[in-house]
Amino acid sequence: MSQYYQKDLFKDKVILVTGGRSGIGYAIAMQFLRLGAKLMICSRKEQALEIARQELADYGPCHSFPCDIRNTDQIAALGNEIQQSFGRLDILVNNAGGQFPAPAELISEKGWAAVINNNLNGTFYMSQAMAKQFFIPQESGNIINIIANVHRGFPGMAHTGAARAGVDNLTKSLAQEWAQYGIRVNAIAPGTIESSGLYQYPEAIQQRFEEAKRENLLGRFGTTEDIANAVSFFASPLSSYISGTTLYVDGCEHLAGDRNGLIKTLRSMMQS
Ligand SMILES: NC(=O)c1ccc[n+]([C@@H]2O[C@H](COP(=O)([O-])OP(=O)(O)OC[C@H]3O[C@@H](n4cnc5c(N)ncnc54)[C@H](OP(=O)(O)O)[C@@H]3O)[C@@H](O)[C@H]2O)c1
């Protein structure tokens, strides 16, 4: 699909994709490289990150730096590495994140805090650091937050629903506060996307995903490329008058389909 965009769309643009070693982040990174960008990817697992960097380097200049988005010291070190390697940053894609399925009454304090810290706080820490070091002084920048389908809540993963709804709102606040610095901020809410993240769930939940696929009005799961295409749109001048918005890339999943399928599956798993 990247062939539909002009080949040098992101020529000389420096782009950071968090969680770029796998799944959706990997596809985003690959598309940017194919369209001429210089990439930095970060994540926690050093070895897996280095393997991804080597693979992605076939498509263009790709650097990597181990960084936990929950750790502001590590984010500062990542910012210094970007400064040394590229001297600037043009686009930040906050894609890193993760969660686990659980009925709300069984989420421990630690589990709740972990998911909020990763998916809400990490996104804020990263956005603030990159804006202060690069985007505000440059008077230009572009932030794209990958969230989730939280339109009708997220039964079965209440913690991530709350965190992603937080990022949805943060997107609107930052877009307004930082417009004066030439920074655009948008979010993408993926539906169920066939990616590495999806296969980490237990078998019964994967079966539920298959039902959701049949329920989807477009009759399929999303692909990582569907998300990369939307990210490229927000990253490009094609969307230069769009800021503070969330785009659902989900085949209508936020409007239609059984939003309670996951929690029903979890409850039946607990009874069996
Ligand atoms: N797949 C879907 O259907 C779907 C739907 C809606 C939203 N999403 C969201 O989209 C994003 C990508 O999903 P995916 O399916 O590609 O999942 P994935 O393969 O599990 O990717 C998550 C990535 O984030 C990194 N990461 C997680 N926590 C991190 C942290 N604290 N610091 C730095 N990196 C971290 C992971 O690398 P390390 O383990 O090396 O840190 C991994 O590369 C996630 O935020 C996910 O929740 C996915």
Into how many domains does the chain fold?
Answer: 1
| 264 C-alpha to ligand 1 centroid (Å) | 24
| 101 C-alpha to ligand 1 centroid (Å) | 14
pLDDT confidence of residue 2: 65
Rg (alpha carbons) of the chain, rounded to whole number:
18
Q: Is 100 helix (H, G, I), strand (E, B) or coil?
A: coil
pLDDT confidence of residue 1: 57
Atom of ligand 1 nearest to the CA of 96: 24
pLDDT tens digits for 187-236? 999 999 998 878 888 889 988 888 899 999 999 999 999 999 999 999 99
pLDDT confidence of residue 272: 79
Is 2 within a domain? no
pLDDT confidence of residue 199: 82
Is 264 within a domain? yes
Is 87 within a domain? yes
Nearest Cα neighbor of 184 from 172, 194, 199, 192 is 172
Ligand 1 binding pocket mutation candidate from 78, 95, 150, 205 (most atoms within 8 A of CB): 95
Is 184 within a domain? yes
Atom of ligand 1 nearest to the CA of 222: 3
Nearest Cα neighbor of 186 from 134, 249, 107, 133 is 249
- Decide whether any atom of ligand 1 lies within 6 Å of the 196 Cβ: yes
What is the Cα 130 distance to its own chain's centre?
Answer: 16
Is 1 within a domain? no
| 250 C-alpha to ligand 1 centroid (Å) | 17
* CATH number for the domain harbouring residue 16: 3.40.50.720
pLDDT confidence of residue 3: 74
Could you tell me which residues come within 8 angstroms of residue 148 by beta carbon, excluding any fewer than 6 positions away? Answer: 154, 160, 161, 164, 189, 190
Chain mean pLDDT for the chain: 96
Is 12 within a domain? yes
Nearest Cα neighbor of 261 from 164, 149, 106, 119 is 149
Ligand 1 binding pocket mutation candidate from 44, 120, 154 (most atoms within 8 A of CB): 44
Ligand 1 binding pocket mutation candidate from 30, 72, 195, 247 (most atoms within 8 A of CB): 195
8-state DSSP, 250: S
| 180 C-alpha to ligand 1 centroid (Å) | 31
Cross-sheet strand order for the sheet of 141-146: 62-66, 38-43, 14-18, 91-94, 141-146, 183-190, 246-249
Residues of the chain with pLDDT under 50: none
The range of the structural domain enclosing residue 18 comes to: 7-271
